Structures are given as structure tokens and as C-alpha cells.
Structure 1
Amino acid sequence: MTTPEQSSVLARLRRYQHLLVMGGGAVVTIVVLAAGLMDVAASVNAYLARMKEEVSIDMRRSMDFTTRAVGTLRNNVQNMEEAWSTADAEKQDREAPFGPDGLLRVQPDADGPPLLVLRSDASASATDAWRYVRLARRMAATTARIAARNAGDLTVYLFSPDRQTLVLSVLPWGGSAWQDKVAAERPALFAALTSADGAGIAPPEGGWRDPATGTPRFRWLTPYESPLTGKQAVRIATELRSAAGTPFGTLVYEMPLSALAEHLPETSFAGACLVLAPDGSLVVACPDAASTALLPLARQAQAAGLDKPSRNVFLEGHVLSGWPLLPTGWTLVHAQSWRDIVTGVRTQIILAALTSAVIIALTWALLLLVKWRVFVPAVRQSQRVFDSEQLSRTLVETAPVGLGLITANTGQPLLRSPSMIATNSRVVVDGPGLSYALSRHFLQQEKLAPPQSGGAAVFEDDLTFSTRDGQRLDLSVSMVRARYQDEDVLVTAFTDVTADKQLEQELRNARQAADSANAAKSAFLAAMSHEIRTPLNAVLGNLELLAYSPLDELQRDRLNTIRNASDGLLAVVSDVLDFSKIEAGELQLEDQEFDVLELASQTLMMFAPVARAKKLALAGELGDTLTWPLRGDPARLGQVMNNLLSNAIKFTETGQVTLRLSRDEAASQVLIEVEDTGIGISADQLPALFQDFTQADATITRRFGGTGLGLALCQRLAQAMGGTLTVQSQPGVGSRFTLRLPLHAGASMASERPRFDGEPVLLVAAMQAERTRLSSILQAWGVDVTSYAHPALIAQESVEDASALVFWGDRKTWHPSDENRLVEDASWVVDCSEDGPAQPVASGRVISASVYGLHGLASGLQYALQGRALAAQAVDGMVLGKRLRVLVAEDNVVNRKLFEEQLALLGCDATAVPDAEQALACLEQDTFDVLLTDLAMPGQDGFALARQVRQRWPAMPVMAATANVTPQEREAGERAGMARVLGKPLSLADLGLALSEVAGLPPLRRDALAGSGLLGGRPVADATWQVFVQSCRDAVQALQDGLRAEDGPRLLAELHSLGGACAVFGLNDIAARGAALAQSISAQGVRACEAEIHALGDALLAVVLQEPLHLINVADQIIARLETPDGSVNAASVAELAKTLRAGLHDRGGSRAG
């Protein structure tokens, strides 16, 4: 809505733009039309000028004709006057007499043209006529020459002043008849020839002679019908005078009017021409038809002075131009109608009209375009500006927040909302008011702020003011520079955030409380992780060592059960801890280069025994290359693949499980699919599939087991790696899980694909899908492959011609004899089976390999067809390339013994100490290759030890092993100078790999450790059990001493060490009670937990004295000594073990008696 003042301004804008457009258009139109008319006028003038120029050129030709005629006559006049003067009057008697008819024919010779001399009266005296006769004789030759030049035509006559004598020369000669006729018509002839218009021939204006020169003048008489020739002729007359100046006759030359007309102008322009005498009489017209209509107009123009060539006369739609026809005294008039002129300049008129029309049309189009594209939008924009300003005013006046415009320099308020006015009345400020305080604050902040480009910067700040009632008022203020009414202003907006500030403070306090609680939770998780992983490390390590002891079948079965349960426990604990790390945002991913195909092959081989146990087909579709380098975290990717394959096998009773790798080039993604033919998942169950600790239905746990955490963890790991995990499933058909990860190709490795030269190879695979896939892969490698579903289908000749024979996968569909027949005749056999070795092994002409991956197949074919050697197998014996001296700092005595045995198996010399002080003492006394330390030790921890070692022995690598490896501990270890921070439980393979890496030894293969006995067939040493028993007794005493002294740190350190030792030997209950007691002591203090401390000590003593675990271990050792493979028995060793068993049984019985 606009105000009346704004409406008036808009009306003026509209009027001005209308006036500008329409007025400008009209002015341009008038100017263009005027220019067009001027162009047309110029064209007409140019047309008339060209016409006059062309007529003027022809007029010169006409005047040349008349001038020549006059010149000829002037010469004749001179000759005749001379002849007259010399005529001999005394010889009159000798002249021939006039005839009775008063006519004398003068002919100088027989061939010359005759002249006639006539007397007006035949009876009159001829005395005066003899001189004219003599003149005629002299004229005869001249007239003959003139007639010859005029094609034989000449009419000239001379009559005396008294008009009584007439000398005629008419050529061609008409003969005697004509002569008789002239004589008969003498009176009329004299009257006609000697007069003009019924009167005598008057001299021209100024007389017959030029007073100055005496040159004869000629008078041109208007046309008449000549009585001599009967044709229209123009007479040219002049007076003849004697030497005394006395006139003796008038000479008249008759010019045929047609001869004159032939020399009149002939132009290419339309129109007509007329020749007028000075009295306005018509001399000749061309064409004649125009004379009647144009003669009155020509006479008017002649009267108006048309005889001037530069002048035009416009009369009655005609344009008349005149030229004097010298020396006749006549005027040539050329007349054209406007229609003829328009026709002559039609093209120019059309062009001018078109040009004017186009210019006018373009002008109006441009003006209208400017109007609708510029002026009208500008007016509309102005309307919107006015409306916007009015709306802004309305918004300011009705805004519930502080809103206003204030001058930038003085702080004078221009517009203010009611809230701003109310706030101004509430606050106490220095200066005129709130607006002034805001402007001062803005100017101060603007000086401090760095210069910005691209527009005015918005300043946002929180300001605090005191109110008149002593309260605190918090305002969130935003200010920015602007222009308003040609003045620098500040657009100011603020809101009252006092309540928000108070709430923020409350939230901050709550956040601090939550952070404290979260820190306590993190500390609890760290402590629990350490307390759980420490005993698990001892349990799994000793179980690993025990697995290579000589055991009977029942014992080995129980050991396998224990190991499987321990592995499951470790998996659950690891999943829970990993999930906790992800939730806390502490999960750190590795960024290293690895071969995803090798990782997938290892995963398939890991689950192959489980699949075979369930009679499931486990297949891998891993592309057609041997390597596929990627960058990322192979451990986490392997964890996801392990979980997906484990679930697929778990929920599949019959059919097949497939691991498939491919790449989506368009999306730059790696696709890892695990597809099964299991029970499937309904559409209703899919939404909850990836929720934490949730399974598809309530029967899953009972039927298949599990915690419902695996898929949730997989999805979290996939998201952490920048990918997605999706599922497609159908109940009763199966499921397909698809992991999509970004395609980060490795830099140092390249995809490897074998190259062959078309060698013929036979492929035998029972499954159609496998035959199709392998045939395509082998063809891509350059092999000429022929596939078969059964050995019986292969002809003997084909086997003999083939370079190699490949068996792939299951052999249950054919008889062994069919296969043996082919093997005996084949040059080479590559046997790829589910239980084949990961590294191909050659036995004669048969090469055994695994179906899980293409590496075995490719290596076998390269060995058979190209003679390339197979990869060397790991050798038994020392697994490290050097006998390392390792110093171990571990406060837990059981873990110390475990490290000693593991290092001994790795071929290392181990020295174990319980704390950092003794470790430093050992380093001062001896030289070691590697330091392996725990992090949580009493006294000086592992980080401090590492820092001192790096300062004093910088060349020696330091490794740490702890039960809870967090990103913070890894970073702290790097800062302390540690080469590795390893997690417990620490397997022998992981320990060997870490030692080889930090010591700079050749890379250690995991299969070398997996394939060799970890203790060389020796059982766990009995000394380990004895150490544990003694450590339990020492722990009970330490607990009592710490309780009496109320020494909390000492108690916590002892409980930490005791928990790890108890967990090694399966005393999980006591380990858990110890961990709970440590939490209670930390939270409540020592004295509040006195009863729990006593109870733990009693339970520990009771278990140590009553549990026969050590006796079972001793008995197992006796059995191992008796069941040696070679039948030999070490009697001394068996006797020593029997004494130990007896002592233990005695102690057990004594305790019962007590």
C-alpha cells in the first residue's frame, strides 16, 4: 500500500515515461518523414537537373544548326552585296529580255540550277530589274553549292525594296509546269513571299544591321506554308545593302520546318517540348499532339520569363523549363507533368518510403521495447520499492523484536519498532539512548574488524545492559551498514536473549555434569576393557600354546571347545568395545595399501571348514585379476566381510554362499556382495535389521545364537569407511548384502592379470555357473579353453592335445575312475579344490591349489605352461631372521611367563622384569634389541619408561602391549616415541610380525607361524602354575597390608595384577569380583570396602587350595611323557612329575582335613 505522496510520484513517473516514449516517437517520426520528403525532393530536383542538363546538351546541338544556317546566310549576304556593287548597269542592252509574262529564267550553264527573276507586273519597265538579273546570275553558282550541301534542297529568294522584283531559287527545280504556275500565281506569290502575318517583313529588334560592326542581322519568321514548295517552312530574312548603304533588297531563306524539328532536343525523359516565338506563337512542337494542351501553359511560362535556363515554372501540375534558341530569338519550352516526374523517380521514392517506414517502425519498436522492458519495469520496481519501504515501515512498527534504522555517525533513531522503544526506556546507558550506544559499539567493532570485500559486513554480538530496576538484560544484536534517504544508516535488529542466556548457563552446567559422567563412563570402559582383555590375553595365549601339547582325543576336544568359547567371548568383547568406540567417535581407521583380492581369499579360506561342516558350497567371484590394490583399512574391511560371511553361513542350511567383488566405474565404488540361499528376511523385519542388539525375530537367538550386534557394527564400520551397507532379501530364497565403498586405488601396486599365448586347456567343473565364469576368465588371460561338466565327456584325443587339464570345485558328480583316466593321460593337471592349499603345491604333473581365489589357478598354469616357479613354502624352525634380545616390562607375573614362552618359540632371548625401574637397570647393564612394556604398571607407567628409553637409547625400538588400545593411547605412544602399541590378547603371529617390523627384519608371513608348533610340542611349564599359586598368596598378604594402611593405590595395583593372573587359569569369578572391588575402592574409599577385601582374600585362598587345576596340568604332562611317538620314556622326568602330583594331592587332603 502506497501513500498519496508516493502515488503522486508514481503518476509523474508514468506520465514522464509516456511523454518520453510517445513524444520521442512522434518527433522521430516527423524527422524521418521530413528527411524522407527531403530525400524525395532532392531526387526530384536531381531528376529535373539531369533532364535540364540533357536538354541543354541537345539545345547546343540545335543552336549549332541554326548558327550554321545564319552563318551561311551571312556569307551569302556579303557575296551578294559585293556582286550588287560590281554589277555593270551599262550592259543592260546585252542582257536577255524578260518574257511577255514578266519572268526571266537565269541559268548560267546548261547543267546549273536555274533562277527565276519575276516582275510583279509583266508590262512594267524592266530597266530596274537588270541589276537583279546580273545578281541572279552571280547567285546561281552559290545556290548550287548550298543546295549540294543540303542534299539538293534549297529555297531562297530575294525581293526588291519596292517588292516589284523577285529573284527565286528553288531546288530541286520543278520544271516548266512549276514555272508557269509561279507566273500565273504571281500576285499571290508576291504577297506571300514579301510579307509576314499580312504585313511587310519588319526588321528584327535593333535593325537589320549591327550599329557597331555593320554585320547583318536576321529575323526568324514564324512558320508558314511555303507557296514555293507547299511545305511548312521557317523563313530567315535579312536586308541587303549596297556599298553606299542603300537597301537594294531583302534576302529570305526558307528552312523546312521538319529540318528544324529534327534538330530539336531528344531526351530520355518523359514530357514534351515547344518552340515559341517572342509573341507566344507556336513555332514547332515535339510531339505535335502536346502543343494543343501545353501551348497555353507554355505561353504563361514564357510571359513569366521562362527563357532563363536556371528557372522552372510550375503550372497546373506541370513543370516547365525554357531555353533561348539562339540566334532565332525563339524560346524552347520543355514541359513534364508531375506524374511523369513521379514515374521517373519512382525507385527513389519507393526506397525513401521504405527506408522511412523501416526507421519509423524500428524506432517505435525500440521505444516500445524500452517502454515495456525498461520504463514499465522501472515504474513497477519503483512501485515495489515504495511498497517495500511502506512494508518495511509497517514491519518496523509492528515487529515484536527490536528493529530500527539509526544514523551511523550520530546514533539518531530514524525508524524504531515498539520493542526497541520499550527497550530504550528500560536500559541504562551512557549517552542519549540505546540507539547511540549501539552506533558507538558498531563503530568500535568496525575499526577492529579486518576489511572485507563484496558488500557490507554484518556485525553480530551479544550485549549486556543494566535495566532501571537493577536487572540484567542480554541482547543479541545484528547491525549492518545501509543507505537511507541519502544518509549512512545502520539497520539494527536485536532480540532479548536473557532467558536463553540463563538456559545456556544451565545447559553448560548440565553439560559439565554430563561430561563428568561420560568421563567416568569412559574410564569405566577403559578399565573394564583392560581388565577383560588382560586375562583374555593370558587365556588365549596359553590355550594356543596348550593346543600344541600332546593330548588325547577327549582332552583335545575339550580344548577345542574351550578355545572356541574363548574366541567367541573375545569376538563379543571386541564387538562391544568397537561399537563403544564408534559411538564415542574414537574409532580411527588405517590408511594403507592392501590387496582386496588377497583379503577376500583369506576370508573365504577361513570360513571354508565351517561351510564344509554344514555341507554348503562356498564360492568366490573375485573378477579376472590376481591382484586388486586399494587404499583403506584392511582390518576393518576384513571384519565386515567376516561378519557377513559368518551370518550367511549361520543362517543357511542348504545351498550356497557366495562372496562377490566388482567395481562400479560410473559411481567410482567397490562392490562387495555376500549372497546366500538361507532363510531370508521378510520386508517387515528389514527396517530393524541394522539396529543395535536387535535380531529379526525372537527365535533367532534360540535357533542360531548371536547378540544382534554384528550387522549393526558392520553398518557403522561401513559408514566410517565412507560407504554403505544394504540388503535385499526374500524369505525362503535367501539374502544379498551389498557393501559399497569409495574406489581409492592403490598407488604402488597395479592390478595383475596373467598373459598366455592361446595354449589349449581343458576345464572340468560340475557347476554351470562356475564353468561360464572360469571360461570367461581364462579367455581373458589368453587361454584357449574348452569347458566340460563331467570327465566322461572328454575324448582321449582332446586330453592328449591339451596343454593342461584343470579340475575345479566339487567332484561328487563323477566317479574317481573317470577323473583318474584323464589325469594319467594329461600333460599337466591343475587340481583346484575346496581344501586345496592357498599356495599351489606341485607333486609331479599334478599341481594342487585352492578354489578360493584365482591366484592358485594362475600360478599353477604359469608353472605348467610357462615354467614359472611356484612360491616357496615357509620353512620350519626359527621364524625370525635374527635371534633378538627382548626386554619385557610386565607387572603381571602370568603375562611375563607367557611372553617369555612366546619369545622363546620365536627364537628370541627374553628378559622379563616387573616394573620400569628394573627395566632401566637392565638396560644400563646389558644391551637389548627391543623393549616390550605394559602401559599400566605400578609406579612409573609405560609412557614414562618409553620417553626415558628414547632419550638415553634412541636407537632401540619400544613396543607396548595393553589390554585396551584406544586412539588416545596410540597417539600418546607415538608422542612418547613408541614404535608400536599392540592390544592384548597378543597372538604369537602378531608378536612375531611386530618384532620383525620394528627390528628391521625381513617380512614375517603369518602362515609361517600358523603352520608351526608354537611350543615345539612341549606342554605348559609347571613353573607357571607354581608362580601363579605363589602370586595368589602374595596378593592376599598385599590386600591385608593395604587395608591396614588404607593405601588405595597399592590395593588398586594389586587388584589389577591379580585380575589378569586369575583370568589366565579360568578364575573368572574372582577376576570379576576383583574388578568390581577396584571400582568400589575408587568410588567409596578403602575403609568402606573392608568386608569385600576380606571376602575376596578368603575366596582366593579357598580356590587356590581346593581347585585341582595344577594337578590336572601335572597329570597331563605325565601322560605326554608316557605317550611319546617313538615309544621312549624319560623315567627321571616322569618320576619328578609324579612327586609333584603326590605333593599336590597331599596338600589338597590336608586342607580338607583342616
Structure 2
Amino acid sequence: MTKDELENKIRELEFENSKLKSELDEARSGHNLLYANLAHELKTPLTAIIGFAEDIVAGHNNNHIIERIKTIATNGYYLLNVLNGIMDLSKIETERFSIDLSTFSLHDLLFDIEDIMLQQAKSAGNNFSLTCTYPLPTTIISDRTKLKQILVNLCSNAIKFTKGGDIELRVCYRRDKHRIEFTITDNGIGIDSNHLSRIFRPFEQADSSISKKYGGTGLGLFISNQIAMLLGNEIKVESTPGEGSTFTVEVNPGHIEESQFIWSEFELRRTSFISHDTLPPQLDGSILIAEDNPDNQKLLELMLSQTGADATYVINGQEAIEKAIANHFDLILLDVQMPVVNGIEAASKMREVGVSYPIVAVTANNEKKDMDHLLQIGFDDVICKPINRKEFFDLLSNSLRLAPEQKQTESISDIEKALIDDPEFQQLSESFADKLKYYATRLEDAKNTNNWKEMQSLAHKLKGTAGSFGFPKIGTIAAALEKQLKIDKKDAAMPLANELLELCTREKT
């Protein structure tokens, strides 16, 4: 072969390689679009199913009816988990699987999981317990959603493969490794040592009889292990047939200061007690909601009616544009996928004509890359379907004005009333008030040196604790400050920082 022939052959191969790459990229793009549409079509009705079920449970006092409605919600979440598993597998196959690090409360996560697992275990005739070995950090830096996904999956598996037994989730901080260690133990059917290597493969279980008897897609452990390796280490398992199994996950908690640790069960339970009994906030303000699905529109209407806020509803982006131009709103919620004009086009048009109030995207796609894209193109925040009640109410609280204080007082729960009169809680509240001096000093230093990262960290800590200890206004302002700093709006953040500093200084004196 001559030199010219060789060069021509190389060019042909390069062309074929380029063509193949383009075809692969196109196939992946089509693959991603298919799954995005699938997520939207399935998560939209699941939003209504789960949302209405949870709302009925929250407002009903008939235990017989509550148990039936909880079954509806539980099965809705099961379908959601199956869908999320398929979506995660798609991301792993197309190398789009990633983690979203944030600072969050460890004990809030643990109590969320405990609530879910207690119900599941009870339905299966099992016992579930959460055991914490202290000290534990109050907050960690990890991917909350994916860590919860791992733990819920492992605990659910333990419940599924145990009959009339005990499941325990143990949590400790391994100072020697700088890892949070989660251990899930059951006394169920166990796994033969010859089958242990198979359980972390996709679509595989210990043996074919497992799927026939217990169900499942065979994706949960595979996806959980992929997540675990991103968060710290692979999942370890020990098991004996007929005796049970132990799964261990170690997670890197990020930077932890010594002052962040909780040292007792009492402190852990007490700091979570009030916030755990979340009530809808009482708010003043007007909201424009663009949602084409009638069931989800009714759900949003029901949830908003509990807050006292005024709401206007439209069914497509074009109507939303017209309403936003003609009227003033304190907040706009836009479903991303709508007929006539979609949410992204509607938001863009609103910004073009000078609409300046916050616009929030409502989407079935919870992938971080897509959520970040929505924030980059002009949305102020993003909320995912199915809509989580607490996250939804937090969003409203950060965007709207609180109603007059007498309305807040009228809505106080029996648990909150009991805690206010509890001497131990009063002692904790006074202790927290003393710490406000420490927060005020650090906040003032951060403000004077334009240390925005430190300011955001302080705002996050106050947001998560102030309301629980009887300082709701500090918590509300801290949440608003954190939100502005997250989206890099420093001009809007500075007045909030000044107000927060004034409140902390006033309360400590």
C-alpha cells in the first residue's frame, strides 16, 4: 500500500469514526428525550395520587380511613421508586449519573427514614428500630436525596425478606475514618455466600425464586451500590442463610467542626420535635400557577388554601404570560411541560417584558444538570414532582410574607404548646438564645469581610434550628438570606443579613 493510499484509508476510517460518534450521540439524545417524556407522563399523575393521599392523612382523624389512605400513598411511592430506578439506570448507562452535594441535617434525614420504615415494617408484621451511637454531627455535606435512596432501599429489602422479625438501622460516626457508618441488620431469610456477588448486578437477585416469591426489579441494590461508591465506599454485606443479613454503608460527611456534634439521644429528639410536626405556614401574598393537569391543579389549590395565600390558576404558558403582564404577583409557579407555550418559553417572555417577581419551575425531571439549567436561564427556584409538602411549604415561606403574628399563634400545634411549657425545652431554648451572640459575631465578621460562603453557612444553620427553639422570625429571615446567596444575588442578600444580625443581637440581650 502506497503512502497516498494509506492516508486515504486513514481519512476514511476517521470519517467513519466521526459518523459513528454522531450516530451514537443522536441515539443517546433520543434515549434521554424518551426517558424525560416518560418521567413527565408518569410523575404527573403520581403527584396527584400521593399529594391527595397525604393531604387526607394530614387532615383526618379517623384511624381506619387513615390506614387505607396511607396504603394508597405507600403504593404511590412504590411506583415512584420503580420509575426512579429506571431513570437512574438510564443515567448510569449514558454516563450522566452524578451527585449533588449540599449541607443538610443528619437527624432530619434519620427521622424521615424512621417514619417511612416504621410504617413499612408494621404492615409486614416486623419491628423497626433506629439506634444512634453518639456523638453524631448535626449536619453533613453529601447528597441527601441519594443517601436517603440507599438507606430506604436497604431497609425496605430487610423488611421484605424478614417475616415477623426485627430490622435495625444503626448510625455512628467513625472518627478514625472520618465516615458516617450506616448498618442495616435483619434476622430474615439471609443470602447464600455463593450468591452474594450477584446481588449488586442489574436485574439480578440471589436466585430466580426470589423474584417469583418476593417481587422486585433487581435494580435497587445495583443502583444503591453505584451511589454508595460516589458518596464514600461500596456497600458491604455479610449474611447467613436462615439467620439474616447485615449491610453496611460508609459515607463521607464533608468538613465537620467539633461544635457541630450532638452528644445525646435527648438532644437529638428534642431539636427535631417541633419541626417534625410541620403545619402549613400562614401567609400573605398572591401566586400565579400555570399547570395543565387538572388533578395537580386541584392538589395545589388544596395545599395553598391551607396557607391563606391568594392564587390564580391558568392551564398553559400563554395564559400565564398574559396574567403576569396584566397583574402583580408575589410568586409564579410554571409547569415546564405545558401546551401552547411551555414553562421555559413563558418564563423567558415574562423576563423580556419586565416581569421581575420570582418564577419557580415545576418539573418531573430531578436531574441536577437539568435543574441547574433551569436556574441559569432565569428561574429563581425549581421544585420537582411529585411535590413534597414540606418542600412546597418551605418554598412558599421563603417567597411570601408571613401572615400577622396572631394568625401564626392561632395555628400552633398541641405538641408546640406542650414544648413551650416544658422546663427541659425552655432550658434548651435559653441555651440556644445564648448561642445567638456567637452567631451574631460570626455574621458581622462575614458581612464586614464580604465572606459570602461563611454568611450562607451561618444562614443555613439558623434556618434549620431557630424556629425549633422559639425564634421563627430569625429562621424565616435566615432562610431568605440563604436563598439569595445560593443564586448569587448579593445586593438582595445584604439587607437580609443586616436584619438577621439585628434580630440575633436583639434576642441575645
Shorter-chain TM-score above 0.5: yes
Q: Distance in 2 between matches of 1:609 and 1:936?
A: 34
CA distance in 1, matches of 2:395, 2:154: 29
Q: Deviations over 1:84-113 (max 9, x none)?
A: xxxxxxxxxxxxxxxxxxxxxxxxxxxxxx
Residue 934 (structure 1) aligns with: 335
Residue matched to 2:419: none
What's the CA shift string for 1:358-386, capped at 9, x where partnerless?
xxxxxxxxxxxxxxxxxxxxxxxxxxxxx
Work out the CA distance in 2 between the residues paired with 1:674 and 1:743: 19
Q: 1:556 deviation in Å?
A: 6.2
Q: Is 1:516 aligned to residue 6 of structure 2?
A: no
Is the Cα contact below 8 Å between 2:107 and 2:272 reproduced in 1? Answer: no
- Please point out which of 317, 321, 329 is paired with 1:916: 317
**Seq. identity, %:** 27
Is 1:570 paired with 2:80? Answer: yes
Aligned counterparts of 2:272 and 2:34: Cα–Cα separation in 1: 52
Residues 1:682 and 1:577: Cα distance change in structure 2 (over 3 Å): same
Q: CA deviation at 1:749?
A: 6.0
In structure 1, the residue matched to 2:384 is 983
For 1:966 and 1:549, locate their aligned partners in 2 and report how far apart those are by CA, in whole Å. 32
Instruction: Report the Cα distance in structure 2 between the residues aligned to 1:622 and 1:691, rounded to whole angstroms.
Output: 31
Please give the secondary structure, in 1, of the residue aligned with 2:170: strand
* Correspondence for 2:100 among 571, 590, 593: 590
Q: Which amino acid aligns with 1:984?
A: K
The residue matched to 1:473 in structure 2 has which SS?
A: helix
Q: Is the 8 A contact 2:142 2:253 kept in 1?
A: no
Change (3 A) 1:649 1:521: same
C-alpha distance in structure 2 between counterparts of 1:919 and 1:573, whole Å: 30
2:398 aligned residue (970, 974, 997): 997
How far the C-alpha of 1:959 sits from its partner, in A, is: 0.6
Structure-2 separation of matches of 1:747 and 1:626? 11
C-alpha displacement at 1:872, in angstroms? 5.2
- Report the counterpart of residue 1077 of structure 1 in structure 2: none
* Distance in 2 (alpha carbons) for counterparts of 1:549 and 1:597: 26
1:620 match: secondary structure? strand
Q: Distance in 2 between matches of 1:729 and 1:674?
A: 12
In 2, Cα distance between the equivalents of 1:569 and 1:698?
Answer: 22
Shift of 1:909: 0.8
Residues of 1 paired with 2:32 and 2:174: CA distance?
A: 40
Do the aligned partners of residues 897 and 517 (structure 1) sit closer, same or farther apart at CA in structure 2, a change above 3 Å counting? same
Greater helix content: 2
Q: Tell me what 2:212 maps to.
A: 702
Distance 1:916 1:735 in 2: 52
State the alpha-carbon separation in 1 of the partners of residues 33 and 174 from structure 2. 44
Task: Count residues with an aligned counterpart.
Answer: 408
What's the counterpart of residue 150 of structure 2?
Answer: 640
User: 1:922-961 to 2 correspondence within 5 Å?
Assistant: 922-953=323-354, 955-961=356-362
Tell me how far apart the structure 1 counterparts of residues 158 and 260 of structure 2 sit (CA, whole Å): 31
C-alpha separation in 2, matches of 1:950 and 1:909: 23
CA distance in 2, matches of 1:749, 1:636: 26
Distance 1:894 1:875, change over 3 A: closer
Cα offset for 1:735? 1.2
Match of 2:305 in 1: 904
Contact 1:661 1:673 in 2 (8 A): yes
**Distance (whole Å) between structure 2 residues aligned to residue 552 and residue 617 of structure 1:** 24
Relative to structure 1, the CA distance from residue 940 to residue 873 in structure 2 (aligned partners, 3 Å threshold; closer, same or farther) is closer
Corresponding residue of 1:95: none
Q: How far does residue 968 in structure 1 lie from its aligned partner after superposition? A: 4.2
Q: 1:629 to 1:871 in 2, by over 3 A?
A: closer
* Aligned residues of 1:933 and 1:942 also touching (Cα < 8 A): yes
**Aligned match of 1:789:** none
Q: Work out the CA distance in 1 between the residues paired with 2:207 and 2:267.
A: 41
Pick one of 711, 725, 737 that aligns with 2:221. 711
Q: Deviations for 1:512-553, whole angstroms, at most 9, x for unmatched residues?
A: 222222222211111111111122222323333455687988
Quote the residue 1:540 is aligned against: 50
CA deviation after TM superposition for structure 1 residue 697, in Å: 1.4
Q: Give the superposition deviation at 1:969.
A: 2.8
Do 2:288 and 2:313's aligned partners in 1 also have CA atoms closer than 8 Å?
yes
Question: Are the aligned partners of 1:617 and 1:657 in contact in 2 as well (CA < 8 Å)?
Answer: yes
Q: By how many angstroms is 1:723 displaced?
A: 2.4
Deviation string 1:888-920 (CA, Å, 9 cap, x unpaired) is 112333433332222112322110112233223
User: Offset of 1:643 from its aligned partner?
Assistant: 0.9
Question: RMSD in angstroms over aligned alpha carbons?
Answer: 3.4
Q: Deviations over 1:480-524 (max 9, x none)?
A: xxxxxxxxxxxxxxxxxx655533432322222222222222111
Kindly provide the amino acid, as one letter, of the partner of residue 691 in structure 1: R
Task: Please say if residues 286 and 310 of structure 2, whose CA atoms lie closer than 8 Å, have aligned partners that are also in contact.
Answer: yes
Please, which of 341, 353, 365 is the counterpart of residue 964 of structure 1? Answer: 365
Q: How many Å separate the matches in 1 of 2:37 and 2:276?
A: 40
User: 1:561: how far off?
Assistant: 4.1
Query: How many Å apart are 1:662 and its aligned residue?
Result: 2.8
CA distances 1:116-143 after superposition (whole Å, capped 9, x unpaired): xxxxxxxxxxxxxxxxxxxxxxxxxxxx
Output the CA distance in 1 between the equivalents of 2:394 and 2:50: 18
Task: Answer whether contact 2:170 2:183 (CA < 8 A) is retained.
Answer: yes
Gaps of at least 5 residues in structure 1 are 1-422, 428-465, 467-471, 475-497, 755-852, 860-868, 1013-1154
Alignment of 1:1114-1133 (within 5 A): none
Contact 1:887 1:912 in 2 (8 A): yes
Q: Which ranges in structure 2 are unaligned for 5 or more consecutive residues? A: 417-509
| Matched position secondary structure for 2:26 | helix
Q: Which residue number corresponds to residue 200 of structure 2? A: 690
Q: Distance in 2 between matches of 1:698 and 1:644?
A: 20
For the pair 1:530 / 2:63, whether they are aligned, the reply is no
Q: Which amino acid aligns with 1:582?
A: I
Which residue is 1:473 aligned to? Answer: 6
> Does structure 2 conserve the Cα–Cα contact (< 8 Å) formed by 1:889 and 1:919?
yes
The CA deviation at 1:669 is 2.8
Q: Quick check: which one's strand share is greater?
A: 1
2:366 partner SS = coil
Q: What CA distance in whole angstroms lies between the structure 2 residues aligned with 1:854 and 1:681?
A: 37
Q: 1:926 to 1:643 in 2, by over 3 A?
A: same
SS at match of 1:724: coil
Return the alpha-carbon distance in structure 1 between the equivalents of residues 256 and 214 of structure 2: 39
Q: What is the rounded CA distance, in whole Å, between the counterparts of 1:708 and 1:854 in structure 2?
A: 39
Could you say if the C-alpha distance between residues 871 and 891 of structure 1 is closer, same or farther in structure 2, counting changes exceeding 3 Å?
closer
Would the aligned equivalents of 2:325 and 2:355 in 1 still touch at CA under 8 Å?
Answer: no
Is 1:610 aligned to 2:120, yes or no?
yes
Counterpart of 2:476 in structure 1 is none
Judged with a 3 Å threshold, the aligned counterparts in structure 2 of structure 1 residues 916 and 518 are, in CA distance, closer, same or farther, namely same
The answer to whether the 8 Å contact 1:603/1:642 transfers is yes
What aligned pairs does 1:737-776 form with structure 2 within 5 A after superposition?
737-746=247-256, 750-753=260-263
Instruction: Kindly report which structure 2 residues correspond to 1:779-858, keeping only aligned pairs within 5 A, or say none.
Output: 854-855=266-267
Give runs of aligned pairs for residues 139-178 of structure 1, distance below 5 A.
none
Q: Which residue number in structure 2 is paired with residue 1082 of structure 1? A: none
Tell me if the contact between 1:622 and 1:661 (Cα under 8 Å) persists in the aligned partners: yes
Contact kept in structure 2, 1:943 and 1:972, CA below 8 Å: no
Counterpart CA distance in 2 for 1:870 and 1:568 is 27
Residue 135 of structure 2 corresponds to which residue in structure 1? 625
In structure 2, which of residues 146, 159, 163 is the aligned counterpart of residue 649 of structure 1?
159
TM-score with structure 2 length normalisation?
0.71
- Could you tell me how far 1:608 is from its partner in structure 2? 2.1
Is the Cα–Cα contact under 8 Å of residues 946 and 958 in structure 1 kept in the other structure? Answer: yes
Whole-angstrom CA distance in 1 between matches of 2:217 and 2:297: 34
After superposition, the C-alpha distances for 1:719-745 in whole angstroms (9 at most, x for unaligned) are 232422111111122211111223413
**Does the 8 A contact of 1:616 with 1:655 survive in 2?**
yes
The 1:989–1:596 alpha-carbon spacing in structure 2 relative to 1, beyond 3 Å, is: closer
CA contact (8 A) 1:688 1:694 kept: yes
> What does residue range 198-209 of structure 1 map to in structure 2 within 5 Å?
none
